[in-house]
């Protein structure tokens, strides 16, 4: 019997790491979102050894995902 594993690729894992970092640290940078972006990028480069050009792109994608999630209307139904 063959077992198929669907492991996310490297970029997906690193983008998820960037997303988690942004969520975890955004309260520290309430006023200065540029510093949060730079800090997340630095984290990927130093802690996870992501190449600098890829780290910037992954943080950008994670950042956009967060912004879209915040702007998405919540699905609240009125029951009267």
pLDDT tens for 22-55 read 999 999 988 779 999 999 999 999 999 999 999 9
79 within a domain of the structure (yes/no): no
37 within a domain of the structure (yes/no): yes
Domain count, the chain: 1
5 within a domain of the structure (yes/no): no
78 within a domain of the structure (yes/no): no
* Stretch 68-73: mean pLDDT: 86
Radius of gyration of the chain (CA): 16
Which pLDDT value is given to residue 36? 96
pTM score, whole prediction: 0.80
CA dihedral 6, 7, 8, 9 (to 10 degrees): -110
80 within a domain of the structure (yes/no): no
* Boundaries of domain holding 14: 10-70
Q: How far is CA 59 from CA 7, 54, 68, 73, 74, in A?
A: 21, 9, 14, 24, 25
* Stretch 5-11: mean pLDDT: 76
* Stretch 65-77: mean pLDDT: 80
2 within a domain of the structure (yes/no): no
SS3 76: coil
47 within a domain of the structure (yes/no): yes
């Amino acid at each position: 019997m063959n077992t198929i594993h669907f492991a996310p690729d490297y970029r997906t894992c690193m983008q998820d790491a960037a997303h988690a970092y942004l969520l975890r640290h955004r309260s520290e940078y309430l006023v200065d979102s540029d510093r949060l972006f730079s800090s997340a990028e630095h984290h990927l480069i130093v802690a996870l050894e992501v190449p600098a050009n890829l780290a910037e792109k992954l943080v950008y994608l994670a950042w956009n995902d967060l912004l879209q999630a915040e702007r998405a209307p919540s699905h609240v139904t009125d029951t009267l």
